[in-house]
Structure 1
Amino acid sequence: MTYFLTYIALLFGGLSTRKNVNLRGILYYACLFGLFIFVGFRYRVGCDWGGYLVIFNSARRNELFSSGIEPAFFAANQFLHYFELEYPYINVIASAGFFVGLGALARRQPDPLNFLVLAFPILILNLAMSALRQSLAFGFLCFAFNAFVDKRLGWYVGFVAIAMTFHTSAGAFLLLAPFIRGDFSRKRIALGALLALPGLYYLMTSTFYEMYARRYIGTATEAFGAPFRTALVAASAITFLWLFDRKWKELFPSDYKMVKLLSYAMIAVFPISFLSSVAGDRFGYYLSAIQLVILARLPFMVTGRRSTWWYMAPHMVLGLTLLMWVLRSSLFEKCYVPYQTWL
């Protein structure tokens, strides 16, 4: 129950400091650092521990991948060998990249602490504690999302490009580049979609698509629970579009365009997860960043007692999800229990 109790402690800290802005700010940085330690210094925890050990040993023998993809992660492993550091340090690197990016996005929110607490039950446990390459890519995508809001096209493309060197799937977000500048309108969406067609054609005909089709579509590879996780992502988008679209545009105009565009993508990953649970899950984790943005803003969309209800509702759903996962999943018991740290 280590993970569930950790979530309860985070939630209690968030609830007990709601009226103390200064203490809440201090607690946010303490939780961010504590979660970095919790994730980065784990030992034999996470379903991909053995898989990344194979990559680490390949880097020791200087065996480059024949496909030549995702070189930054391979280089990170070679960096460890150069300084004679052992395999667990790759988790420290991945955890640092993930939390630096997540923290950069969290600080753009009205309530960074709540954003961070909401990330724990699914995003942190499932992504940061297992999928090292994608967690590093996720960290750089968080910077890309900030660049999108700031309308800095060059920075956006640059951060996405760096993310691709850790996990090629991040390249799909290059399709958002045409939408960065200009007003949000149907005409603009149509123009942006037209401009994005060459990039989409490249992705669908390149080794990127071939690799993911070979790995995940029509294979025995499964991401257990993916339809449920992507359903939560889609439900967050539907809540935004159905209930808070106009209110969001009024209160938070700076990131309205990004949230609305990616809300449609958040809905789309749900049916994709039935075609390929792994592919749906991969993109669902990236879009979880926007899901957290939506969930953390819900209390600011309403006033009075309803604000407290909208604050607690996502936590109740995520807390119940975590509890059921802890109690009923054999995969969780195999990969995460017991929690150990090499400190």
Structure 2
Amino acid sequence: MLFYVLIYITIIVSAFLSLEFNVSLNKKIKYGIFLLFLVLFVGFRWKIGGDWDSYLGAYKNLSFRQIFTFDPGYVVVEYISKFLGLGIVGVNSICVFLFGLGFIYFLESFELSLSQSLVIAFPYLITVVVGGYSRQSVSIGFVMAMFGAFRKKDIIKTLLFYALAIVFHESAIVSGIIFLSDKRYFSKYVKLTLILLLFISIIMHKVIYDRFMHFYQLYVVSNIMHSTGAIIRSIINTIPGVFLFFLKNEWENRYGDFWMWGVVSIFSGLVLIMVLTTHLTTLGDRILLFFYSLQIIVFNRVIYFVENKLLKYGLFSFISIFYLAMLIGWFLFSSHGSFWVPYKNILL
């Protein structure tokens, strides 16, 4: 656990220097270092993550038919890695690289600071999700890129990233909820999305049916799957929505994307209610992973709403300590935390 904490403290210090002294590297260098870090930290990890054995088994038993019975995007990555002789490490490296590109596109689209965004993203999104669940991580990266393209009103890129997110993990379909936030483009998005989903359904009909029945049986019918941290994480993802609506007018005047994140906030609130009132805790937990960017966007921007320098640094410190506590708490109390420690890497 100490290894992860030390990395996070380094990120906090970097973010503070960026906030206080406006210390920043050239963007290309900065993003290059970030992608290299992701590949070394996540891509080169060894026997880390709750699904490590499942991913390794799928890679060893790789067959062409899996394109029609599994998430095809991930299967293609497996084939590329096998062709190049890179093994499961190659699969993980390609996946985390794709996530990193989506993450960077998101930051660039919303003009967010990389270091300050990592203060929010590293403790759970990168350490746990990206560092343990390869298919979901790529899908989340493409969803974040989709959010960026949606803000730019780029319909083609929005639907392209949406499609790529779905072919890596079909549950990414829920992220299409943001299409409700733009009245001007709503009808276009609906028509093109329906065509897109119809095309994907024809190509992936067996995958979609089998996975739907699997999810339905696993998350809805049975009570086997229960996420102990789902309530806490759902509350955490709802808190930025409260800030967002509290700052509604000023947010819209500054950024012009209030309703985009407003829809995400409302949806997150509904998922919280579902988690609190039903046994669908794991389902809610998995859904909200695709909207983790709400935390990144709000907590990144809300600091700049505070003009008093002392209060600004106080807020930054509170956010940093809060996410540090989340990181430590997850390792201490999560039933799956042992799969991430001690950290192992093929280079070490």
Normalised by the length of structure 2, the TM-score is: 0.85
Among 44, 54, 59, the residue aligned to 1:56: 59
Match of 2:204 in 1: none
Is 1:157–2:159 an aligned residue pair? yes
Unaligned runs of 5+ in 2: 202-207
Q: CA–CA distance in 1 between the matches of 2:148 and 2:18?
A: 27
Contact preservation (8 Å) 1:47, 1:130: yes
Q: CA–CA distance in 1 between the matches of 2:191 and 2:284?
A: 25
Q: CA–CA distance in 2 between the matches of 1:130 and 1:223?
A: 16
CA pair 14-22 structure 1, distance change in 2 beyond 3 A? closer
Q: Offset of 1:79 from its aligned partner?
A: 1.9
Match of 1:215 in 2: 218
Match of 2:292 in 1: 288
Contact preservation (8 Å) 1:17, 1:24: no
Q: CA–CA distance in 2 between the matches of 1:197 and 1:37?
A: 36
Match of 2:96 in 1: 95
Q: CA–CA distance in 2 between the matches of 1:196 and 1:319?
A: 42
Q: Deviations over 1:110-154 (max 9, x none)?
A: 423201221000111121011110101111111110111011222
Q: Offset of 1:168 from its aligned partner?
A: 0.3
Contact preservation (8 Å) 2:71, 2:167: yes
Is 1:258–2:263 an aligned residue pair? no
Contact preservation (8 Å) 2:240, 2:294: no
Contact preservation (8 Å) 1:133, 1:166: yes
Contact preservation (8 Å) 1:178, 1:196: no
Q: Which runs of 4+ in 1 moved over 6 A?
A: 191-199
Name which of structure 1's ranges 255-264 and 162-171 shifts more when overlaid on structure 2. Answer: 255-264
Q: Offset of 1:98 from its aligned partner?
A: 1.1
Is 1:70–2:74 an aligned residue pair? no
**Counterpart of 1:8 in structure 2: which amino acid?**
I
Q: CA–CA distance in 2 between the matches of 1:22 and 1:287?
A: 29
Q: CA–CA distance in 1 between the matches of 2:162 and 2:191?
A: 18
SS in 1 for 2:48: coil
Q: CA–CA distance in 1 between the matches of 2:236 and 2:331?
A: 18
Q: CA–CA distance in 1 between the matches of 2:190 and 2:82?
A: 46
Q: Offset of 1:49 from its aligned partner?
A: 0.6
Contact preservation (8 Å) 2:159, 2:193: no
Q: Deviations over 1:28-75 (max 9, x none)?
A: 53345324421111111111111111211221xx15249634211112
Q: Percent of aligned positions with the same letter in both sequences?
A: 21
Q: Offset of 1:178 from its aligned partner?
A: 5.2
Contact preservation (8 Å) 2:14, 2:115: no
SS in 2 for 1:275: coil
Among 299, 303, 322, the residue aligned to 2:307: 303
Match of 2:173 in 1: 171
Among 118, 126, 129, the residue aligned to 1:127: 129
Q: CA–CA distance in 2 between the matches of 1:71 and 1:197?
A: 19
Contact preservation (8 Å) 1:25, 1:113: no
CA pair 194-337 structure 1, distance change in 2 beyond 3 A? closer
SS in 1 for 2:69: coil
Name which of structure 1's ranges 82-91 and 272-281 shifts more when overlaid on structure 2. Answer: 272-281
Contact preservation (8 Å) 1:32, 1:116: no
CA pair 31-70 structure 1, distance change in 2 beyond 3 A? closer
Is 1:314–2:319 an aligned residue pair? yes
Contact preservation (8 Å) 1:101, 1:140: yes
Q: Offset of 1:210 from its aligned partner?
A: 3.3
**Counterpart of 1:306 in structure 2: which amino acid?**
L
CA pair 28-267 structure 1, distance change in 2 beyond 3 A? farther
Q: Deviations over 1:87-113 (max 9, x none)?
A: 221110111011111121123334232
Name which of structure 1's ranges 289-298 and 174-183 shifts more when overlaid on structure 2. Answer: 174-183
Contact preservation (8 Å) 1:109, 1:293: no
Name which of structure 1's ranges 35-44 and 63-72 shifts more when overlaid on structure 2. Answer: 63-72
**Counterpart of 2:126 in structure 1: which amino acid?**
I
Among 209, 213, 234, the residue aligned to 2:238: 234
Among 40, 45, 49, the residue aligned to 1:42: 45
Q: CA–CA distance in 2 between the matches of 1:238 and 1:209?
A: 32
Q: CA–CA distance in 2 between the matches of 1:236 and 1:170?
A: 21
Q: CA–CA distance in 1 between the matches of 2:69 and 2:333?
A: 39
Contact preservation (8 Å) 2:150, 2:158: yes
**Counterpart of 1:56 in structure 2: which amino acid?**
Y
CA pair 66-210 structure 1, distance change in 2 beyond 3 A? farther
SS in 2 for 1:46: coil
Report how many residues are paired.
330
Q: CA–CA distance in 1 between the matches of 2:49 and 2:121?
A: 17
**Counterpart of 2:296 in structure 1: which amino acid?**
L
CA pair 313-32 structure 1, distance change in 2 beyond 3 A? farther
